[in-house]
Each structure stands twice: as C-alpha cells, then as structure tokens.
Amino acid sequence: MCFNFKSAPAALFIILTVISQLSSVSAFGCYPPPVANQTFNEGTYAGTNGFNYILEGGYWSNPTPCDTNAPLQCYPFAILQNAEYSLGGQGSLNNQNFVMGEFGEWIGLGTCVPQTFDSGMAFGVFRNGTAVKASSTRKTTTTTKKTTKKTTTTKKTTKKTTKKTTKKTTTTKKTTVTTVKPTPTPTMFAGVNCYYIFSLPQTTQITMLTALQAAKVQTLRIFITSFWPGGKGTDAVGSTDLELGTVGNYNDGVLQQIDALMPLLVQYKIKLMITMHDRWNLDNTWGICDAYCQTYCSGGSNLQGFYNNQLAQDAFDARLAHIVNHKNPYMGNRAWKNIPEAIHTFEIQNEAQGTSNGVSQFTNPDWWCGRATNLRAAIGANNPILVSTGGGQDFATSLINQNFACKAVDIVGLHSYSNSIADVTSNLNLAAQMGKLYNKKVYFEEFGAQYNKAQWIADVAAVANSLKIPWMPWEASSVSIYNDYEFWTDDPTTWNTFSWYSQQALQY
C-alpha cells in the first residue's frame, strides 16, 4: 500500500500537534520529515512535530517522542547489497539516510546517528512492515504494480554498476548507493528560466515543477545570486549571494537552498543549468554590487578591472571550484560535480562583458575559454555535466569564434531580446552552422517579450525547433506579470503555447 502525505486527515495533524506540545522528547533524534507529494510505502518511518511515526493502514501511527534538536536518527534498516527495493524504500548506510527514487537511485537525505538496540539485532531490509535481520541470506523482494500499464517494476541495488534491462512488461533497475546513472537529456528539447526558484517555498517549487514536468520541460536555468523576499510578486523567502561582501568569503546559504531543490528535480525529471554568477552584479544594474563589483570594478563604473585582471580571474575561478565541490547532504553528501542526475550544465557567467553604463565592456574574447578550461579541470575531463558560456548579452557577443573554438566549452549559449523574427531566424541559422562546423552544442538560453508573449514564444520556438536548437524563454515564475517577461499558468494563452511547443521540441 502507498500513501501520499498530503492526503492525511487534517484532524490527525491537529491531534499530533497537541500531543507534541504536551509530551517530553526522548534521547533519540527524529527521522527525516515527510515531504509534500512524496509517496510512502506501508510501514515506513517519518518524523514531524517532535515525534517519530510509522505508516500503518494509511495513517501515521505509534507516535514516539524524538529530540528535534538532536541529529537525525538513522532508519532502522541497513541497505543491503543484492536486495530489491521498491519506490519510496528507506535505508541507511555509513551514517546516511536514503530513500529510493523512481529511477532506481538512492537519494541521500543527509547524515544520521545510528540507533542502538538492546537485543543487538541489526535491522536490514524493510519488507511489508517487518524488519528482516541483515544476516539473513534470503533476498527481500518488493514490487510496485502500475495498473495502468499492467507492468511490474523492481529496483535492485548492486555495488558498483547501474544497468537497466527490459523484457516484455517487466523492468529491473540495478542501482548503486554512491554512483547514479543519470537519465540522458534528449538532444532536442525545451527548457525554461526561473533563476530564483530555489528561493521559493517548497510547496511553490512543487507546484511549478509539476506544471513544468507536464509541459515536458527538460532543464531549468537558475543563477547563483541574491533574490529579495517576495521578489517578482512571489512568496520567495529570499536569498543572499555567495560572495556579497568580500571576495573569497563564501556564504553558502544560497547553495544550501539549491541543495534542497535537487531531490525534487530528480523526482520530476528536470535538470538544472546552474549559472554560477550574474554579470549584472558587477555594475549594480539591479541594485546588487557584489564582492567583485566592489573589489575589481570600482563599485560598478569600470568592468575591465574584472575581465582583464588576472587576480580577479583567479578569484573567480576559485568561486567556480568552490561551487562544483560543494557537497549536498540531500544527495548522499556528494559534491555538485558528482550529481549528474540533477545537474545538466555549469554555466560560467550570465551575459559576460557586453555593454555597461553605455560603454562597451567587450575587450577580452578569450575570457570565457580561460574560465571554461579551469572549470572543466575542476569537474573532470570525462564528467557528463556540460560546461556552457552562459551566453553573451546579444547574438553578437554570444557568437564569437573563440567560444566555438574552445575545447573546454560544450555549449555556446545564445541570448537575444530582439523583437524581429527575421533577425532571430538569421542568427539561429548562423549558430546552427557554426555548431556543426566546430562540433558544439548551441542553446538559445534567453529570449522573451513583455507583451504578446504567447505569439513571440510560438514564433521563436518554431524556428528553434526546425533547426534543432534547444530553447528556453525568460521566464517562468509562480506569478505572471502582465507588462514584464514573467509568465505562468494564470496566463493560460501564454502557458499553453509554451507547453505545446515544448512538447513538440521532443519530436525533432
């Protein structure tokens, strides 16, 4: 039996809240809390409101006090090699809690403290609400039946390999705790920008990801930057830039917000394109003058102190290395560079160089390649996560030969807010030709309109689809803004147009 946490009766939670206020906590820590929309198997564990619970008969039962100030408690089942686990299965290994994802991968829920049992019994696989001793030689098999397709799916853990075998109506997925084989992103697809989605509450993230998945969106482009609470008319909690005050003094709060987003992305089959810095923070365009702006750009008046200064380049490369080596406690404590199931691309900088304060700052066309070369070295030569330029300010600064000729660049990002479809068509054709000549991927990462959004998305998407150039408009948000670029399902004409062309992209 499976249970959706959102469906629990409201009265039950009121009772549990009252109990939690009246009872004292035990010495044990709590289990990881349930997540909205997460499906749980009968007999699984979760902690909430100062109590641990077990799911029995579709209800969270047997409340046991737990200490919310203590480290999380490990699940009482050790993950066993050569055992089979169903979607939502739980287990612990090496003082880490894990839950089985829908692709047969173990998703890390962070570190935990093991329980100690007087009986000395080592609990292993959880099976139909019963703990099985880890010393048992019997394999535990749990199946999840999908009645709509009349198929049976089992997920089996092995030590080092990931393999998928399909025979008739039965699919078996062999997975590993430490290495997950990512689902390949189609060659042709549509993505979307929502540079601050990590700053939104999880319930809003889930609402957005549900709609994006239905639209067959494959990638979601975000920026590592500040975002203000309630920004763009949303319910955002706010985020602080990684280096807001001092170069090299990293505030990882924004990275931790993105950490929490990644397991959801895996669940919804959408990957991140992570833009590692916003060039507009160098000149205070949007009210943000970050550490690089203050240190190398004279408060934003001259960007050449950043783009043509080796000290600034070294400091920026250190920023990129810090980001890719940041460890995500929700994904098995792996470094970001080792999470290809959640990350599609690392982007060097959004719209580097270009024009600032009416003055061209485009003086170092080799800047992208220098950063890309060091970034590729930081993540590894054979890493499946791609490296993108992050786009120029317009077609001219995006389509430079140096980016196409650079060995370390995988994707040449294209940005343009031209409102001429003839101009867009001409430049996308040029980009497609250069991509073939240099064997590079080209993505139209940013375009959009403040008015007549549906028509503009349709016009651009039709051209991009015909040329097999992945595209992503600016930008999806949880709230549409009539006279700005943001669009959402509350603007059904724009959303339905976007969704239709996104689904069509997969046919090319």
Give the Cα separation of 244 and 254 in Å (integer). Answer: 11
d(CA 207, CA 211): 7
3-class SS at 208? Answer: helix
Nearest Cα residue to 464 out of 425, 422, 423, 410: 425
- Give the residue, 13 or 413, on which the prediction is more confident: 413
Which range has highest mean pLDDT (116-130, 141-155, 486-500)?
486-500
Does the pLDDT at position 303 exceed 70?
yes
Task: Tell me how far apart the alpha carbons of residues 75 and 46 are, in angstroms, rounded to a whole number.
Answer: 9
- Segment 205-231 shows an average pLDDT of 97
CA distance 219 to 82: 33
Picking from 233, 315, 302, the residue whose alpha carbon sits closest to that of residue 480 is 233
Query: Quick one: tokens of 92?
Result: 């612990």
- Measured between alpha carbons, how far is 185 from 338 in angstroms, rounded to an integer? 16
Residue 258 has pLDDT above 80, yes or no: yes
Taking residues 338-348, report their average pLDDT. 97
Among 89-103, 218-232, 267-281, 477-491, the minimum mean pLDDT is found in 89-103
